[in-house]
Amino acid sequence: MFCSLKQSGLTSSTFSNPLIEKTQALKHQRSLLFSLSKPPIKGVNLVVCKSFKSSAKPLYISSIKELGSSFKLRNRGNVIECKAHEDESIETKSSAAAAAAQKVKISIYFATWWALNVIFNIYNKKVLNAFPYPWFSSALSLATGSLFMFISWATRIVEPPSTDFDFWKSLFPVAVAHTIGHVAATVSMANVAVSFTHIIKSGEPACSVLVSRFLLGETFPTGVYLSLIPIIGGCALSALTELNFNMTGFNGAMISNLAFVFRNIFSKRGMKGKSISGMNYYACLSIMSFLILTPFAIAVEGPQMWAAGWQNALSQIGPNFLWWVAAQSLCYHLYNQFSYMSLDEISPLTFSIGNTMKRISVIVSTIIIFRTPVQPINALGAAIAIFGTFLYSQAKQ
């Protein structure tokens, strides 16, 4: 690309032109001058170069012209003008390589997020079947995540975030919503099939639009409102035809949807202007949620129930039960961490499409693993609801 003669900023460069074996760029009155180790023309030892944008790319000389005696610089002999251009292919190649690397990184984050989410859902349900204490199980997964991050910070595997009182204050409403959403989803999964919880949870965009419209006064394109018809209709069809329908399970999933809508609203407001990585943000959220949840978990279930239930589960399942608990707790933290790391790299819209895809993998895999009976009309309801969330994502663009 050709630019103005006046541009400067280059400190050194190598030409591919064999005419000039070795050049060094010098700044001179905002022009770029090249001193030549072997002057190509007798008496000429300076070249004014006409085209520069950045210093990173090699320059190719496209023309060289003697400027004559009027351009003679003091003690520097005659001056010739050369036009050079940067190697644009370098920029194209390096930006294409960076974009490809970014795509690979995001794909790894997505794949890890989904895989860990599927594993979490399977082991969480196995634990809840043997040990039906969702408040304990929710608190334990938050405690495990917090401990995991304290160890990562102490060993400097992860750089600890620098936070202030304002940060924790703005995190508080997010943590309250996260705690409610997490415990409500776990209560739901303790009462109904995991697939059913996730079918209802695929209605989250509908809750988001309704809350934003009626509580915050936001308006959306007509397509967004229309997409709510299949979302709500599909979820309703699925709920009405669910063989093991249970009101606590349904309400838990709905409360979780609402709580996560508020979590997203508060976290968007709280994070404005703050710089903290997705990984550390989720770690702080876990710690605060654990502190909020623990007293409620003790009040609702309590250590006596937990001790008796734990013994019972151990005697029924054996030592494998401990592995199940470890898998569900650790995977809960890690899948959320990867989802927040993905959110760091992509738009909220891509994130919500990814989340919907994740629900499909969870619904299908848990139906297979737990041999959940599914009627065709029930599956149709789930498919309509999920299709609706795709329409919603498209309409929101």
Where does this chain bind ligand 3PG (CB under 6 A)?
181-182, 185-186, 201
| CB nearer to ligand 3PG: pick between 85 and 201 | 201
Tell the smallest beta-carbon distance from residue 120 to ligand 3PG (Å): 8
Amino acid code (one letter) for 52 = F
Q: Within a 10 A sphere around the Cβ of 23, how many other Cβ atoms?
A: 21
Return the biggest CA–CA distance within the chain: 100
Q: Cβ(217)–Cβ(364) under 8 Å?
A: no
User: In this structure, are residues 149 and 334 in contact, taking their beta carbons and an 8 Å threshold?
Assistant: no
Q: From the CB of residue 288, how many other CB atoms can be counted at a distance below 10 Å?
A: 20
Least separation in angstroms between CB 188 and ligand 3PG: 8
Between 203 and 381, CB nearer to ligand 3PG: 203
Q: How far is the CB of 355 from ligand 3PG (least distance, A)?
A: 7
Shorter beta-carbon distance to ligand 3PG: residue 61 or 190:
190
CA nearest to 287, candidates 133, 187, 151 = 151
Report the alpha-carbon distance of residue 321 to residue 323 in Å, rounded: 5
Q: Cα torsion for 172, 109, 185, 143, to the nearest 10°?
A: -60
Cβ proximity to ligand 3PG, 50 vs 182, nearer residue = 182
**Which tokens is 18 given?**
């064999």
Cα-flanking dihedrals φ and ψ of residue 70, to 5°?
-65, -20
How far apart are CB 350 and ligand 3PG at their closest, in Å?
Answer: 16
For 224, residues 6+ apart whose C-beta sits below 8 A from its C-beta are: 209, 392, 395, 396
Structure tokens at 256: 């979780």
SS3 label, residue 202? coil
Measured from the CB atom, is 57 or 201 closer to ligand 3PG? Answer: 201
* Least distance to ligand 3PG, CB of residue 186, Å: 5
- Of 23 and 188, nearer to ligand 3PG (C-beta) is 188
Looking at the Cβ atoms of 51 and 191, the one nearer to ligand 3PG is 191
Which sign does the torsion angle of CA 74, 75, 77, 81 carry?
Answer: negative
Question: C-beta of 49: minimal distance to ligand 3PG in Å?
Answer: 57
What minimum distance in Å lies between the beta carbon of 89 and ligand 3PG? Answer: 44
